């Protein structure tokens, strides 16, 4: 019996949901949960609610069944949230979370302060996928499910590089590999491969980046005009902040893109000692010690000044 079983007793319909602007861990954990239910619980009908995942994730079985809209008349026995650090971050399934009581949340964000009926938040875990893996029966994880879970672990660890990668993370990844997945293809297709335009925009963001605080902070931003010029959306900007952080001597990387008039989505990354989740939380966001985000208002210069001001206090 898996640890998950006890929460699924009597459940006939389950909704599974991730956060806005779903990343690899969000997609991997929602789909991993969906595939685990599909492959082992024939009596449960499950729906996954997410914003449309990038086509790069199309190798994940069942991803074409993702629901990007909530219809008014649906009801579920349980809502399973994964990788969601705060109720405002629930994307498509937000209204469900407001009206349901049987909610189980699997997460790994230090800033998670939600109060669901069942909350399993492990800030030490590499990924939401690692957290949900521990609730599953190893033998019942199919190859399809393993592909989804491996995707999330690989993405949230920066392909097993970041400090959130533990020996346990590697053991779980190894067990998922033993299910016969094509790990090289998963990593290439969903993580490293970029379209020509994505590379161009990343190149431009790097070219226009500036160093601040004696080279300890690097900042770059992309305006809506630039995004329109290249015909891209927020999903095509993934990876830019990680590349900025790779700069030698830098401790914090800040990347912003304009989402609306004088509104910016902010991504923060640190290398060693700065806790960027504190700064993100100050501006209404959250995340992890070394990877966090928020939305801020003002011109890009206002936003950068406010962030650098708070960060310099931490240095």
Which span sits near ligand 5GP by CB under 6 A: 43-51, 246-254, 285-293, 307-315? 285-293
Confirm or reject binding of residue 105 to ligand 5GP (CB under 6 A).
Answer: no
Q: Which of 16/110 has CB closer to ligand 5GP?
A: 110
Q: How far apart are CA 149 and CA 176, in angstroms?
A: 8
The alpha carbon of residue 237 and the mean position of all alpha carbons in its chain are separated, in whole angstroms, by 14
Please say which residue, 146 or 250, places its beta carbon nearer to Mn ion.
Answer: 146
25 belongs to the binding site for Mn ion (CB under 5 A): yes
Task: Please report whether residue 156 would count as binding Mn ion according to CB under 5 A.
Answer: yes
The first and second tokens of residue 7, run together, are 């929460």
Q: Residue 263, interface with ligand 5GP (CB under 6 A)?
A: no
Nearer to ligand 5GP, 61 or 277 (CB): 277
Q: How far is the CB of 124 from ligand 5GP (least distance, A)?
A: 14
**What letter does residue 201 receive in the DSSP assignment?**
H
Choose from ligand 5GP, Mn ion, none: what does 114 bind? Cβ within 5-8 Å by kind. Answer: none
Question: CA of 164: how far to CAs of 21, 109, 174, 264, in Å?
Answer: 22, 12, 16, 27
Choice between 61 and 112, CB closer to Mn ion: 112
DSSP type of residue 54: P
Q: 314 is in the binding site of which of Mn ion, ligand 5GP, none (Cβ under 5 to 8 A by kind)? A: none
CA distance 15 to 2: 19
Selected from 176, 181, 218, 292, the binder of ligand 5GP by CB under 6 A is 292
DSSP, collapsed to helix, strand or coil, labels residue 211 as strand
Return the range that interacts with ligand 5GP (CB under 6 A); candidates 123-131, 196-204, 205-213, 290-298. 290-298
State yes or no: residue 295 binds ligand 5GP (CB under 6 A). Answer: yes
Q: Pick the closest to residue 293 from 302, 301, 282 (CA basis).
A: 282
* Interaction between residue 300 and ligand 5GP (CB under 6 A): no
263-270 and 13-17 as β-strands: parallel, antiparallel, unpaired?
A: unpaired
CA distance 309 to 283: 12
Among 51, 83, 198, 238, binds Mn ion (CB under 5 A): 83
DSSP, collapsed to helix, strand or coil, labels residue 206 as: helix
Residue nearest to ligand 5GP (CB): 293
The per-residue b/e assignment along 90-114, b for 16 or more CB within 10 angstroms, e otherwise, is bbbbeebbeebeebbbbbbbbbbeb
- Site for ligand 5GP (CB under 6 A): which residue of 288, 296, 304, 307? 288
Contact residues for ligand 5GP, defined by CB under 6 A: 23, 85-86, 89, 109, 111, 267, 285-288, 291-295
């Amino acid at each position: 019996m898996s640890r998950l079983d006890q929460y699924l007793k009597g459940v006939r319909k389950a909704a599974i949901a991730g956060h806005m602007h779903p990343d690899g861990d969000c997609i991997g954990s929602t789909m991993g949960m969906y595939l685990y239910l599909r492959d082992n619980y024939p009596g449960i009908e499950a729906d996954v609610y997410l914003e449309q995942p990038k086509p790069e994730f199309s190798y994940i079985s069942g991803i074409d069944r993702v629901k990007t809209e909530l219809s008014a008349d649906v009801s579920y026995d349980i809502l399973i949230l994964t990788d969601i650090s705060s109720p405002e971050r629930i994307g498509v399934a937000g209204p469900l979370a407001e009206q349901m009581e049987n909610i189980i949340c699997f997460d790994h964000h230090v800033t998670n302060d939600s109060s669901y009926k069942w909350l399993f938040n492990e800030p030490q875990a590499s990924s939401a996928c690692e957290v949900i893996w521990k609730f599953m029966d190893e033998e019942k994880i199919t190859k399809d499910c393993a592909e989804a879970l491996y995707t999330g672990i690989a993405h949230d660890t920066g392909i097993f590089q970041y400090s959130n990668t533990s020996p346990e993370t590697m053991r779980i990844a190894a067990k998922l590999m033993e299910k016969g997945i094509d790990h090289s293809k998963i990593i290439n297709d969903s993580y490293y491969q970029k379209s020509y335009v994505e590379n161009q925009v990343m190149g431009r963001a790097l070219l226009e980046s500036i160093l601040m605080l004696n080279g300890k902070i690097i900042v770059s931003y992309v305006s809506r005009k630039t995004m329109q010029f290249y015909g891209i959306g927020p999903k095509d900007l993934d990876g830019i902040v990680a590349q900025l952080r790779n700069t030698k001597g830098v401790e914090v990387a800040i990347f912003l893109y304009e989402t609306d008039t004088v509104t910016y989505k902010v991504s923060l990354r640190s290398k060693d000692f700065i806790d960027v989740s504190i700064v993100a939380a100050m501006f209404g966001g959250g995340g992890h010690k070394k990877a966090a985000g928020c939305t801020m208002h003002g011109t890009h210069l206002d936003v950068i000044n406010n962030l650098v001001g708070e960060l310099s206090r931490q240095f």
